[in-house]
Structure formats: C-alpha cells, structure tokens
Amino acid sequence: MKYLDCVLQQMLKETRTFVQTLSELYMYLYYFINLSLLPSGFTMLRAFSHTNGRCVFHHAKCWHHRKSVLAIRREDVNAWERRAPLAPKHVKELTKMGYKVLVQPSNRRAIHEREYVKAGAIIQEDISEASLIIGVKRPPEDKLIPKKNYAFFSHTIKAQEANMPLLDEILRQEIRLFDYEKMVDHKGMRVVAFGKWAGVAGMINILHGLGLRFLALGHHTPFMHIGMAHNYRNSSQAVQAVRDAGYEISLGLMPKSVGPLTFVFTGTGNVSKGAQEMFSALPCEFVEPHELKEVSRSGDLRKVYGTVLSRHHHLVRKRDGLYDPADYDKHPENYISRFHIDVAPYTTCLINGIYWEQNTPRLLSRQDTQKLLVPVKSAAAATDGCPELPHKLLAICDISADTGGSIEFMTECTTIDNPFCMYDADQHITHDSVEGSGILMCSIDNLPAQLPIEATEYFGDMLFPYIEEMLLSEGSEPLEKQNYSPVVRDAVIASNGMLTPKYQYIQKLRESREQAQSLKMGDEKRVLLLGSGYVSGPVVEYLTRDSNIDITVVSVMKEQLEQLTTMYRNITPVHMDVLKNEEELSSLVKKHNLVISLLPYSAHPFVAKKCIDNKVNLVTASYLTPAMKELQESVEAAGITVVSEMGLDPGLDHMLAMECIDKAKEVGATVISYTSFCGGLPAPEHSDNPLRYKFSWSPQGVLLNTVQPATYLKDGEIINIPPGGALLDSVTPMDFFPGLNLEGFPNRDSTKYAEPYGIQTARTLLRGTLRYKGYSRTMGGFVKLGLINPDPYPLLRSTTPPLTWKELMCKLVGIKSPAEHHVLKEAVFSKLEKDKNQLEAVEWLGLLGDEPVPAADSIVGALAKHMEMKLPFGTGERDMIVMRSEIGLRHPSGHLEDKFIDLVVYGDNKGYSAMAKTVGYPAAIAAKMVLDGEITSKGMVIPLTKNVYGPILERVRAEGILYSTHSIIKQ
C-alpha cells in the first residue's frame, strides 16, 4: 500500500502536466478505483466542462477530504450588474460533489434565487464561513473578509488608479486574489471571459444607435425597430428583431440616399465573433477589405456588407510598406496603420474589438478622423427631404472600451444609461447626443451585463473546471504550498499580504505612474481660453512661454483661430459658439485646469456656472458684476478660484490705486479723494473720423457703456446718472495732457469701491472713461436715433430677409420705406435736433445708404458689427492707452498731498495693440499665478491685495507696460 501511495502521489503531481498522458492516467485511475486501492482519507473529485450540452471529464484531483464552502457574493458596484460568476447548473454540480454553496441574496441578480435554491445552494447574507468567495466585479473594500480566497475581475493588473485602494486593502487583509482576466492557457489565450457576449450586446446597441443617428440626419431606417440589448429577454429575441430589420432591408426599404452600408470588424477573437454572429442576422455579405471601396459605392442596397480586418490588412512597415508578422511582434513601433486611408473612407460603422499596446500603431487618431469627416459633395439628386450623408464613417462601437487605446480619441467610456455620444474631430469634443456634427460613439465597458443570464451561463461553463482547486485551499495558507494548475496559479495576483512574484511589477507601475502624475501635476497644465479676439494674442504668447502649458482656444472666428495656431505651439483650436453649445462647453471645461474667458461680460456667469459644476478655476478681465456676485457661495462651495477685473480698466487701475493707497496707509496718511480716468484710443495721428475712435476692444461693450447708469461721489455728495444716454451729458474736459484734447465721463458705480479700496474717508470718489473731444457728442446722436438699443429686434435675425441701413433708419425715425435720400436725411437731422456734427457721423458711417445691416439679435449688436468693419485699425496704425489716477492724501502732520499716477502705452505697428497688451498680459499673469499656486484664495478674487497686485505690477513692467508717479505737496 505504501508503494501505491507513492505511485498515486507521483501521478497526482503529473496531472498538472497531464496533456500528453491523459489516456494513461484514465487507465490508472480506473484500476485504482475498481480495485478499491485508493488509500484511506482520499476521495475522488470531479471537474467538468460543459461543451455543447455534454459533460467532458477534464482531470481528476485527489485531496484530503474536508468540508469546503463556496460563496457567490452579491454584485453591488454597478446598478446594471445583474450577472453572476456561476449559474444554477454549476451550483448543482458542486453540491452533488459535497460542497456547500452560499449565495448572497440579491433582487438585482437576473437569475432568481429560487433557481439557486433548487440547485442546492443556501441563500444567506453571512458568507464568512466560505473559503472561496467569487463574484463578477470587484467588491467594496469595506465588504472584504480577511484571509479568504476571492475571485473576480479586479482590474488591477495595469495598476489602474481607481482600483489601487482595493488592492491595498486586499494586501492589508492578507486575501488571496484570483483574477479571471489572468486565467490563460499555455498560448496566453484567456480561458475565462465574457467576450462573446460583449460582442453580441455591442452589435445590438450600435444597430440601435445607427437607427437614431440616421433619424437625426433625416432618414427613417429599419434599424429604428432595434432596441438596446438589455431591452430583450435574451439574445434570441434580439436576433429576431435584427432579422425583422434585415427583412425590411432585403425589401429595399433603406433610403437610397444613404448608399450601401458597410461594417468593419477588427479582431478575430470571441468579441469580434460575437458581434459578427449578431450581424449575420441581417441580409449580409462578407467581403475582403480591399473590396469595400467598390461595394460602398455600387453595392446592393438590399443587403449590408461586412469585412473582418486583420493586422496584415492595414499594418505596413514604415521603410518598405510591407507587413512581416514576426518582425511586427518584435518591433511594432516600426509600423504604421493605413486603416484611415485604405479602409475607413469606405466604412459606415466600425466595430472595434482590439486592445492597444504601447508602441503599437493606433487604428484611428484625431487627425485621421478630421480628414474622414470632410463633408461629401452633394449629389444633384439630393434634396432637403432626401439628404445625403455628411460623410461615410457614421459610427464606432468600441467594444474593447480601451480608453485612449486603438481609437485615440475614445478617452471616456459611455454607459448603459447614456450609451451614445458624438465625437466632433474638428472641435475635439464629445457631447451626449446623437445629433450634430461628428461620429456616433458607443463604448460601454460592461456590455455583457445587458444579457445577464446567457452571459452568466457562458462564463460559468468556462470557470467551473477551475473552481475546485481554488476552493480546496485556505487563503491563510502559504501560496507556495498550494498545488495549483498553471492556469490558476498564474492568476493569483496577491496572497498572504504580498503581490505574487509575477505581479510585483504592479507596485513599480504604481510608483512610476505616481511619479509621472506628480511631475504632470507640477508641470503639465491645460488652459481653456474662450475667445480669440484682440486680447487673446498676448494671453497665448505669455502662457506658451511655459512649454508645459497646453491651451485650447475656443472661438467663432475661424481665421483668428488659424492665426493663433500658426503663431504659437501647444494650441488646440476649437471652432464653436460657446453660448450655443452648452454641453460641448461643459465637456471642454472639465478637461482643463483653468478657464480664461475673454468673452463679453454678459457671458461670464454662464461660463462660471460650468466652472463651478466641474470644479475648475476661472480668470476674466471683466467687472465682477452682480450676476457674478450671486455665484459667490457656489464658487466657495466648489472650492475654486474665480479671478475677475484682471485687465486694464478694471484691473491695472485697481492695482496702481491699491499700491499707492497701501503705501500711504503705511505712513499713517488718510485718503480724502480718489479719481481715475482711463481710455483706449487711436493714436492722435489715426483719430481721423467723426467718432475720433477705432475699435481694438469689444465694439458692443463700448457702445453699451454709453447708455449705462453711473454713480459717483463729489465733495461728499452722491451723484446719480440714470441709464439711457444721460451719461453723455456729464462730460468734463480733461487737460492733464493738453496736447491730447481729451474729455471724460463717469463709468458705472464708483462709490462701490470705497469699501474694497479701504478709502471710506474719501469725499470724492470717481472712476471714468477717457475719449477724444467730440466722441460723446457723436455717440449722443446714435442714442437719439435708437441705435444703442440692446433689446431683441427680430427683423435683424439671420432667418429673416435682410434689411438695408436705409430701411432700418426709416423705421427708427418713423417714415415709410422706401424713402428718398433727402427725405430720410431731413427726418434723421430733425431727430438729431439739427446737430450737424451728429448727422455727419451718421452719413460717414453709411447709415443712410443701401448697405445691408449685419444679422444680429439687436440693433446695437448690428451697429457694433458695422462699426467693427468701418472703424478698424488699418495696417501700420496703432492705438494707445491713457490712464490718469489722482489720489488726495492727508498726512498725520496735517499737510496734504496729491499723488498722480500716469500710464501711457502705445500699440506696436507690427505687434500687439496697446489694449491687447494692457488687458491680455495682466489676465495671463494672473492665470499663471493661479496655475502655479501663487493665488490660492478660494471664492471671488479681484486684485486688491498686495500678494496679488504686487507680483502682477512687477511682471507687467517686464512686458513694457510702464507707469510713472509724481506728487504735489500742499501745506
């Protein structure tokens, strides 16, 4: 008997490499069993693989008999997770073998508990007696039980950041972790996976998505009758729905204008095969990849076409254009993909089932896709009711769900709840919709959960043969004493509080990633710049001096975007109207560390709300308006910084004032008056028009400022100026630079700065705007005519027939159109109260002529667009900035001092305008300070404290923005 013991022990060891001696092993086992020669204390355990309904004997194992308990845990990480790792039929086999099987109760599980009970399982919450606990997805860290065996998809083998806390807890609790993903055969092929059902569900989903996308493009198709995969009780129901759609296609019910449909499947594994299996329910014909071009143009509309893409179809070596599989395996970096050239242009829908490895060519990049989405030329037969498709490639179903992988721009998975998004390659943004420009994307990472019963049975069939050996060991026992098969042994990620030798690289990956993230957090920063107007140049120029700052510029002005992209590196242009694309804006904001808004001030609250939602800091050059102040609590709750008034006026005027005021307070002086006037003007030699003004800043903002109310303090008395144009009657000559012939008028509410400036002692407090003499008089004429009217004016919308200025002026002065020129002129002159200078300005601008009025939402919006065209700075012309601040001080000794601060900046003939420099550089410097952690205050910030204005004033001087000060002492 001792001899038989030794033989049996040796035979059992050899079963670990039993492939070549299986028949011999059967013979010996039969001999021992039938002659009752098994030693006492041993029992025979069975392992089965269910293949096509048959039970196949895999291999037998003999262990010392002991009672073992298996637990199937409840899936509780995702609401859609209704699968289980084993089906009732597998539980039945285990209970027949004498195992106790516990199943945690779950109303979410697709297979009813009673089916498990019939199979012999016990339904109970407490699973602590189990030696092996299995699930599909990861358990929550707080549900782990120490020193147990666990098996599930851990998603830790790439040191995935989201699951590292779980791995840490597994190590701390000395749990043995078997990861299904690493259960592979001697060829490295996975032996336990849901792959087929990911392919089946993904194919169903994308057919449903195509129905929606076609409808958005103006086409009803048979795909509209296919639902999402989870809407079907099982795959057979789904197949029937697909067949029904296919029947309609075979009858020729697909719209002719969409052309033949082509589907490309990548990969040859179970994922791709599952997708192809569902696709085959359509009237389909599989062709070779090189045949796609022909069938996509002249194929039969009563069928759809498919092709399976392998490496040799699209990969070529860079130096000679050939494909060598052995060489590719060794040096994939020497190859490129021609998919975007040879296959994608003829593909309607891509079903991607391949994963991407570092240094291997991607299937599609953003640049590739931009070229693929160029609109096709419309055929003569196309009509509004029967439109052609905008481009051939309509949809991508990335079943691999490999973010940033073979589909470079698939950076975030979709979900069963929100299965589709549109990727716009031109703007490099995604938005949750099936409408708009771009490619329909579907990239759900838990597709088999949509067909949970079949997926459970399929997966359980593959897992069942390995359950016994995982079950018959205690997690607390040393791993080296376990006699696991290679498939199971190599799937042990952690045991006894340590990573197993094969997976110790995970810790190194974590360390390198954490180091890279640390460097990235410290170095690489992403800025979203909204607006590409006059000021954007200095902002971009300043920030791109730091090579670790990447800037995305969003603008409706395509030419300016292209100029910025040409002039500066690290720029990603996005051509988009921010205010009309709310979802796209939100998607962009969340991908950046900081937003700089150079949009009109009225847009800032809209932008700020997106920053609050996504916890992203914001910098603007505009006033902190009441609408912005209302967001104060939300900004603080989000823990972000919103910097406002970081330009010229407001901005540098605050900083120069506070520098002077703070220095005065340091010597005990009291501020008794503060006046500050600032203006952006053409240089004197270029002020040659009736308005004596040219635009280097927002035209509409300039115009609207003339009808704003104003409040200021004069010798202790509060002066209020009502809105509507009365401001232009409060003009004062400004003679501090006599040669410039300036005038000034109050700007907004000056009194509100008494508290933030800390100058409540001042009896005069006035902030105003500078212009050349005559500006206010001319603008007053526009106010009289109703041209500075921000109210909606439907007749000027782009959807209505265009008006000429002559027709609009007739309406404004109340005469019937068309009118003779002299009649209109006389009516306008009368409306202007016989002011010849004002009439001259109206005529000079062409407002009595036949030129069309630009489309706009309001009259003032149209006038702003018109003035931007009529009053730009010409080539070689320059602007200038003039600022004069006067601060009256009373010193402790009783003597008085008037402190003067002068800032005069000229634009560069071949460079930036003065306005661009004095607004752009302060905003850029402030943005850099936020990025670098120099400005850390949370909430609303304006530049009134020394830690903010000090560094900015020092740095603007380095940019050539110089100011001077002088004083007059009075006894």
pLDDT band per the 50, 70, 90 thresholds, residue 830: very high
Q: pLDDT tens digits for 591-611? A: 899 999 998 888 899 999 999
Per DSSP, the three-state class of 197 is helix
CA distances from 866 to 537, 664, 851, 861 (A): 23, 47, 10, 9
Q: Average pLDDT, stretch 209-237?
A: 95
What sign for the dihedral angle of Cα 140, 145, 151, 154? positive
Token representation of residue 167: 């791995």
SS (H, E, C) 445-470: CCHHHHCHHHHHHHHHHHHHHHHHHH
CB atoms within 10 A of CB 662: 16
Q: Evaluate whether 163 touches 490 at the Cβ level (below 8 Å).
A: no
241-245, 348-352, 380-384, 924-928: lowest mean pLDDT where? 380-384
Q: Is residue 297 within a helix (H) or strand (E), and if so which, with residue range?
A: helix 292-298
Please give the pLDDT value at position 23. Answer: 34
CA distance 797 to 793: 7
59-73, 732-746, 849-863: lowest mean pLDDT where? 59-73
Q: pLDDT tens digits for 870-888? A: 888 888 888 899 999 999 9
Q: pLDDT tens digits for 240-259? A: 999 999 999 999 999 998 98
Could you give the count of Cα atoms lying within 13 Å of 679 in the half-sphere of its Cβ? 25
Q: Average pLDDT, stretch 2-7?
A: 43
Please give the pLDDT value at position 522. Answer: 52
CA distances from 11 to 6, 181, 450, 711, 839 (A): 8, 30, 44, 99, 110
pLDDT band per the 50, 70, 90 thresholds, residue 27: very low
Q: pLDDT tens digits for 573-585? A: 888 888 888 888 8
Percent of the chain with pLDDT over 90: 59
Please give the pLDDT value at position 153. Answer: 94
Q: Evaluate whether 485 touches 466 at the Cβ level (below 8 Å).
A: yes
Q: Which of 1-10, 46-55, 215-224 has the highest mean pLDDT?
A: 215-224
What value does the CA radius of gyration of the chain take, rounded to a whole number of Å? 37
Residues 6+ apart with CB under 8 A from 515: none
Beta-bridge partners for 647: 651
Q: Which long-range contacts (CB under 8 A, 24 or more apart) does 322-331 make?
A: none
Please give the pLDDT value at position 94. Answer: 96
CA distance 600 to 582: 16
Q: Evaluate whether 788 touches 845 at the Cβ level (below 8 Å).
A: no
Among residues 445, 461, 649, 879, which one is catalytic? 649
Residue recorded with tokens 């065996």:
149
CA distance 785 to 813: 7
Q: pLDDT tens digits for 708-719? A: 899 999 999 999
Per DSSP, the three-state class of 540 is helix
Determine the angle formed by the axes of helices 235-250 and 195-216, rounding to 10 degrees: 40
Please give the pLDDT value at position 13. Answer: 47
SS (H, E, C) 598-666: CCCHHHHHHHHHHHHHHCCEEEECCCCCHHHHCCHHHHHHHCCEEECCCEECCEHHHHHHHHHHHHHHH
Backbone angles phi, psi at 399, to 5 degrees: -65, -25
Q: Average pLDDT, stretch 484-493?
A: 95
Surface-to-core class of residue 833, CB atoms within 10 Å of its CB (0-12 exposed, 13-18 middle, 19+ buried): exposed
Kindly give the pairing relationship between strand 122-123 and strand 100-103. Answer: parallel
CA distance 638 to 631: 11
Please give the pLDDT value at position 372. Answer: 87
Token representation of residue 789: 């009217």
Please give the pLDDT value at position 60. Answer: 40
pLDDT band per the 50, 70, 90 thresholds, residue 917: very high
Per DSSP, the three-state class of 246 is helix
The separation between CA 576 and the C-alpha centre of its own chain, rounded to angstroms, equals 15
pLDDT higher at 238 or 67: 238
Q: Average pLDDT, stretch 75-85?
A: 93
Helix%, strand%, coil% for the chain, nearest 5:
40, 20, 40
Q: Which of 31-35, 45-49, 456-460 has the highest mean pLDDT?
A: 456-460
pLDDT higher at 308 or 701: 308
Q: Evaluate whether 229 touches 82 at the Cβ level (below 8 Å).
A: no
Mean of all residue pLDDT scores within the chain: 87
Token representation of residue 322: 């050939």
Please give the pLDDT value at position 520. Answer: 52
649 is catalytic: yes
30-44, 616-630, 659-673, 816-830: lowest mean pLDDT where? 30-44
